[in-house]
Amino acid sequence: MQKIKFFFFYQSFLESNFFVRFFREISLSRRIASLVDFTESDVLYVSAPSIFLVPWFRRKKKSCFLIVDIRDLVWEYLLQGNIIHKISGYIFKRMVLNSISEYHLITVTNESEFQYMRSFFPDKPLKLLSNVFDYSRFTRIQDKMKGHSSKRYTISYIGNIGIPQNLASLLHIAKRMPDAYFIIGGDGADKERLMRIVAEMGLENVEFTGYLNWESVTEIYSSSDVLYAKLDPAYIYAVPSKLYEYLSTGLPIVYEGEGAAARLLQHFENVCIVQNGDEEQLFKSFSEARTLGTFSGANIQQIKENYIRDDIFKKFSEELSGELDSYRNKQNEK
């Protein structure tokens, strides 16, 4: 009988201070590592919401099959910052890459991360597991969208309201489109700043919802006309998981950014991709999206066929069995 144990920690998204997060994540990672040390395992799957989890487990290489799941290239983003961030990014990059070399298998979330890791580890097994969502959520969105209606042209953003998103550009569009309604759903470290900007600009067509449960998210989808997403230029390797939800609604999407997320969206229809900081093009894209008025059944079908977690992990589990057999054979030969 196979047994699976989960060890995880909660990291608040509201903490914006770099050094506070630095020491908190180190502390939490050490606590998880100490728990895992007392657990006998055949396979250890280290998923890295925090890069500090990665180094702690490489010492277990001789006792079990190690998998590292890289969900974000945080160090590359730090290298784009100030001198403190650059130094930290360089140290973290060497630390993480040296640690990954001790793992038996690497998983990543998008094609850009795949190519990045392949450049450092050309001979190591590497699998792409997209940042997707559950079939139950997919079907709930489909059910909810059947009752789609909006009394006013509504542009919605749903997700983390943080520094990487820098949603101030959306507020400038709101000022230029007073007849449209803008919903900013979610919470994050940058929300208070954005709320002050709204007050200073005297905007009456912007709503901050705060934290949203899943049912509230689907309610906003069903009353929106266009969905908006953005990442700053430094985050060229990231693909927000929220994009897969957006695409499953069939609604038009306006994305402000470059890199991996923009390349993913190029494979779908009803999508406008705008270069970061191009306010005129952003305004034009929202105006054009207003005239579309149709759902993309092709987008919905593509998500259903290629980006449902249940199917992706079923395929991965089958591939993992082969990797484990190969690993065990090599161990027996020693």
Per-residue model confidence as pLDDT tens digits over 35-61: 666 567 778 888 766 677 777 666 655
- Does 244 score more than 60 pLDDT? yes
Long-range CB pairs of 100-104 (<8 Å, 24+ gap) are: 100/54, 100/68, 100/70, 102/58, 102/61, 102/66, 103/46, 103/58, 103/61, 103/66, 103/67, 103/68, 104/61, 104/65, 104/66, 104/67, 104/323, 104/327
Question: Domain spanning 135-306: which CATH class is it, in words?
Answer: alpha beta
pLDDT at 11 (0 to 100): 52
> What is the radius of gyration, based on Cα positions, of the chain?
21
- Does 194 score more than 90 pLDDT? yes
pLDDT at 206 (0 to 100): 97
Q: What is the pLDDT of residues 123-171, one digit of tens each?
A: 999 999 887 788 999 999 999 998 888 888 999 999 999 888 889 999 9
Average pLDDT estimate for 91-118? 91
- What are residue 126's DSSP bridge partners? 106
pLDDT at 14 (0 to 100): 46
Average pLDDT, the chain: 85
Query: Between β-strands 206-210 and 65-70, what pairing exists: parallel, antiparallel or unpaired?
Result: unpaired
pLDDT at 300 (0 to 100): 95
pLDDT at 2 (0 to 100): 52
- 216 burial class (0-12, 13-18, 19+ CB within 10 angstroms)? middle
Q: Where are the domains of the chain?
A: 18-132+308-333, 135-306
More confident residue, 205 or 232: 205
- Does 228 score more than 70 pLDDT? yes
Share above pLDDT 70 across residues of the chain, in percent, rounded to a whole number: 83
- Does 92 score more than 60 pLDDT? yes
Average pLDDT estimate for 211-223? 94
pLDDT at 148 (0 to 100): 85
Planar angle of CA 246, 135, 317, nearest 5 degrees: 115
- Does 20 score more than 70 pLDDT? no
Whether 18-132+308-333 shares its CATH topology with 135-306 is answered yes
pLDDT at 174 (0 to 100): 96
More confident residue, 248 or 36: 248
CB-side exposure of 5: number of CA atoms within 13 Å? 12
Q: What is the pLDDT of residues 266-311, one digit of tens each?
A: 999 999 999 998 999 999 999 888 876 678 999 999 999 999 988 8
Check: CB of residue 50 under 8 Å from CB of residue 25.
yes
Q: Looking at the domain 18-132+308-333, which fold is it?
A: Rossmann fold (3.40.50)
